[in-house]
Amino acid sequence: MSLAELVASLRAVLPCDAVLHEIEDLRPYECDGLSAYRQLPMAVALPQDEAEVAAVLRICHARKIPVVARGAGTGLSGGALPHEQGVLLSLARLKRILEVDPIARTARVQPGVRNLAISEAVAPYGLHYAPDPSSQIACSIGGNVAENSGGVHCLKYGLTVHNILGLRVLTMTGAILEVGGACLDSPGYDLLALMTGSEGMLGVVTEVTVKLIPRPECARVAMAAFDDIRKAADAVASVIGAGIIPAGMEMMDGVAARAVEAYAHAGYDLTAAAILLCEADGAAEEVEDEMHRVERIMQMSGAVDVRLSGSEAERLRFWAGRKAAFPAAGRISPDYYCMDGTIPRNRLAEVLGGIEALSAEYGLRCMNVFHAGDGNLHPLILYDASRPGELERTERFGARILEMCVRVGGTITGEHGVGIEKIDQMCAQFGPGELEAFHAVKAAFDPDALLNPGKAVPTLRRCAEHGAMHVHGGTDRFPGLPRF
């Protein structure tokens, strides 16, 4: 189908300004937060309601045109990277909060609503939506569902999948699926869980029912400085081992803390090898008690300094550094590549040592910022894309980090998804059996493979061509192929 025919068919169902095809209009959509990968789509469609989304899907389905859904484009794994022969389907105009039910503690929202906007809208009822990605000021709830996003408070309150009750989803044919519902459990296969984290590969989310929880009466944070990152890693294990579930537990290595401090002035110790932030929330007496238990554990683990926030302003200041860690990387390097892997908490010190060794091997600096409580690492590899070969070296370094995560019993993503970025590492994470099951699920929802093709799930052939093999648990699931 020619571009002119595609634009004419889309303009038959959408207002003229909701179909973009001039190169300068397509440019803002050429990448997501993983800007190393760029691709212009044939056209961008900007529907404003579910009926228009369905109409776009029906047109593309009839003409076998690939469709890539896009929320706010803050994804870090290239999930919303356009297809050159496809339509980029932006959900940004579906941004209404449809209903807030303070008694049931739920809200029904369109997919383009920003994560933070939900909590802002329900604040008058003393409620909030718990998952809080650091990008929450910009990212959309539809994108959060598609990536099963997490955030600082997910250690205590769970990921997106634990905080939603229902979805309306359109399949590639434009048919509506209603999954989940008002009850905690529903019969049949758990399609709500299946859709959450499906990276726009199975359907387009057009409505989300989220759970709301009361805003905690009080929150305080302990900030501890360590002269050895292993001591900080041990402190994380000791806090959890003591039966405490902090509202958030985040770590930064010395490189990250120094980069951030110059930018955010959070009060971090510039000589520290690691900074650990541990938050307690709830009723004031509980928080007081938990803070002092955490303080003792940090001291016993060898912290050189522990400070407890004495006011809300100080709590926010301690967090400001952590929240600004990604932008701070931009101040010390022309480019940075944010990795996202998860490991068992007790392997933290070992993996950080491995990353340090790889940093020396590849001659690239790396700063580590992570959700320590749930073992979710975010090594930020610092590089300069204008230097020939440096991006490729960075990608190889990143791939080695993810493979190391799998080897210690972890996963290649904690919250950013697979997208285009980690598709080859999926071959390390899964064997042919699991990959075939993924393809069967995809075929059940989208037999023509038109939704976000080429992302998230590699073909067995691709795994073979990349010489990749399953490493989880050390089992050789692709016999005959070389090891990484």
Ligand X SMILES: Cc1cc2nc3c(=O)[nH]c(=O)nc-3n(C[C@H](O)[C@H](O)[C@H](O)COP(=O)(O)OP(=O)(O)OC[C@H]3O[C@@H](n4cnc5c(N)ncnc54)[C@H](O)[C@@H]3O)c2cc1C
Point out which residues bind ligand X (CB under 6 A).
Answer: 32-33, 68-76, 79-80, 91, 111, 133-135, 139-140, 142-144, 146-147, 149-151, 199-200, 204-205, 326, 415-416, 452
Cα separation, 299 vs 127, in Å, equals: 35
Q: How far is CA 29 from CA 22, 71, 331, 354, in A?
A: 12, 11, 25, 36
Tell me, what DSSP letter sits at residue 339? -
Q: Are 427 and 417 in contact (CB under 8 A)?
A: no
Min. distance of Cβ 473 from ligand X in angstroms?
26
Nearer to ligand X by Cβ, of 54 and 139: the residue is 139
Minimum CB–partner distance for residue 164 and ligand X (Å): 13
CB-based contacts of 134: which residues, under 8 Å, 6+ apart?
Answer: 151, 152, 323, 325, 326
- Count CB atoms within 10 A of the CB of residue 83: 20
Task: Compute the least distance from the CB of residue 36 to ligand X, in Å.
Answer: 13
Q: Which amino acid is at 65?
A: I
In the complex, the smallest distance separating the C-beta of residue 90 from ligand X, rounded to whole angstroms, is 8
DSSP labels, 392-413: HHHHHHHHHHHHHHHHTT-BS-
Nearer to ligand X, 8 or 262 (CB): 262
Residue 124 contacts residue 81 (beta carbons within 8 Å): no
Considering beta carbons, is residue 92 or 464 the nearer one to ligand X? 92
**CA-to-CA distance for 382 and 363, rounded, in angstroms?**
10
Nearer to ligand X, 152 or 273 (CB): 152
Q: Toward ligand X, which CB reaches closer, 133 or 254?
A: 133
Nearer to ligand X, 219 or 298 (CB): 219
Contact between 358 and 393 under an 8 Å Cβ cutoff? The reply is no
Compute the least distance from the CB of residue 227 to ligand X, in Å.
Answer: 27
Torsion angles phi and psi, residue 442, rounded to 5 = -60, -45
Closest contact distance (angstroms) between CB of 347 and ligand X is 21
Smaller CB distance to ligand X: residue 334 or 473? 334
**Closer residue to ligand X (CB): 65 or 72:** 72
In the bound complex, what is the minimum distance in angstroms from residue 415's beta carbon to ligand X?
3
Structure tokens at 337: 């590549």
Task: Give the relative orientation of helices 348-362 and 390-407 as an angle to the nearest 10 degrees.
Answer: 160
Task: Give the DSSP H or E segment for 221.
Answer: strand 218-226
Question: ∠ CA(259), CA(264), CA(269), 5° rounding?
Answer: 60
- Residue whose CB is less far from ligand X, 354 or 454: 454
**Rg of the chain (C-alpha set):** 23
∠ CA 357-362-363, rounded to 5°: 95
CB of 102 to ligand X, least distance (A): 25
Q: Least distance to ligand X from the beta carbon of 146, Å? A: 3
Q: How far is CA 197 from CA 105, 112, 200, 231, 428, in A?
A: 23, 16, 8, 34, 19
Q: Judged by CB, which is closer to ligand X: 177, or 391?
A: 177
Question: Which three-class secondary structure state does DSSP give residue 321?
Answer: helix
Q: How far is the CB of 129 from ligand X (least distance, A)?
A: 13
